[in-house]
Structure 1
Amino acid sequence: MTADPTEDCLPGNTKVTREDWLRVAMELLVEDGVSEVKILTIGDRLGVSRSSFYWYFKSRKDLLAQLLAEWERTNTGILIAHTRLPAEDIIDAVNGFFLCVVDPAGFNHRLDFAVREWARRDPQVRAVIDRSDTARTRALAQMFARHGYPPEEADIRARVLYYQQIGYYALELNETLEERLARVPAYLQAFTGVCPRPEQVTWFRDRARAFAAV
């Protein structure tokens, strides 16, 4: 009979779940890199012994595989889901896409770059990154195509939008929220070729400010 994973918890701890192990593993990945994602380190943070780890994972290699799958499910899944939100026109569609990067519970850019750094040292992780980048740009291209853009133009606009967003975080620009929001009308027009209506700009700004206030 397999032992209960809570048996090795230190006094006062509640049940430690698979999601807890993955959450702390992600924190370590973001803070210190994949080399520091260690069973003992995670257990120390959770206040449990390493034996409870084996209730959920076969090995550290299994943990890393599940961690990568969770990144793909969340970051890539969230981004793609936002390209498919209902939208009356392309401006509304791009606004919907941008919600995933202003929502604190949405796209996690720090995690994304931690995984990309991991991929520099692991060809298998690099392959997953490439697969995700392809899926993300394809979803954006499909978003543009649904709003009447020819296939080649939809593909290029998708790449410009996606590469700009990823590059924005890579540069670690020190801009305030209001500085970014002031550029929203010009960004929307540059990405789509369409001049946004004032109420569409206001809609996005209001939601971005609401997320920032949380």
Structure 2
Amino acid sequence: MARGRVTREDWTMAALRALARGGVAAVSVDALAGELDITRGSFYWHFKDREALLVAAVEFWEQRATADLIARLESIDDPREKLREGFGVALGAEVIPGLEPALVAHADHPAVAPVLTRVIERRISFLAGLYVETGLTAAVARRQAVVAYAAYLGWADLRRAAAGVVPEVAAEGTRGRAALKHLIDQLTDVR
């Protein structure tokens, strides 16, 4: 990034990229200032301290990766199509590769834990509601939502840790697209 005015969003995105690369410990004000090609003084225009940056970053992720996606899906009438579209976005190409597994790995961190808990609860609740709309009972829909969410987390973790061993988890290429379609078919073909 060129020197110039750096926004709060620039800092939060840099923090999320660092978190994805190296976990919470990698979110260093000095390292992020270097990445953004600015002095660390800019940081204090936007945040009180590193903890405030971590909270802002994970809340930004919550908004973009959960609330915004759910809002976008609300415009689709058919619940199965909502599921297909949602899974396609969630399981497709990552905006910040490795971010979700990194966040889950730091589920006990005080800045991450409450946001991650809210995200998981909201995502599973949303999925369960869609599965109810497809005709499943509430209990079965909840179980299916948990299974679907576990598949999502596993897919993200495989992509991060073993893409060379399991190339099907890559969003690109014929094998990747076929495997992704197969997974989405499995998650949406419920009766």
Q: Given the two structures, how large is their TM-score scaled by the length of structure 2?
A: 0.79
Alignment pair present for 1:163 and 2:159: no
- Counterpart in 1 of 2:162? none
- Residues 136-175 of structure 1 aligned to structure 2 (within 5 Å): 136-172=123-159, 173-175=166-168
The question of whether the paired residues in 1 share the 8 Å contact of 2:129 and 2:141 is answered with yes
TM-score using structure 1 length: 0.72
RMSD value, Cα: 2.6
Distance (whole Å) between structure 1 residues aligned to residue 18 and residue 187 of structure 2 = 37
The secondary structure found in structure 2 opposite 1:119 is coil
Aligned length: 180
Q: Which amino acid aligns with 1:115?
A: L
Cα separation, partners in 2 of 1:32 and 1:105, compared to 1, 3 Å? closer
For 2:89, the equivalent position in structure 1 comes to 100
Task: Give the SS at the match of 2:167.
Answer: coil
Find out whether 1:188 has 2:177 as its counterpart: no
Bigger Rg, which one:
1
Per-residue deviation, 1:124: 5.2
Q: Which runs of 5+ in 2 are unaligned?
A: 160-165
1:95-146: per-residue Cα shift (whole Å, max 9, x none)?
Answer: 111231255476x5621112122224x2552333222111110000111122
Identity %: 27
What CA distance in whole angstroms lies between the structure 2 residues aligned with 1:113 and 1:128?
14
Equivalent position amino acid for 1:174 in 2: P
Partner deviation per Cα, 1:7-50 (whole Å, 9 max, x = no partner)? xxxxx723211111112111211112211211111111222212
The corresponding residue for 2:174 is: 178
More contact order relative to length (CA 8 Å, sep ≥ 6): 2
Q: 2:19 aligns with which of 9, 29, 37?
A: 29
Counterpart CA distance in 1 for 2:183 and 2:5 is 50
Structure 1 residue 189, shift from structure 2 partner: 4.8
Amino acid at match of 2:137: P
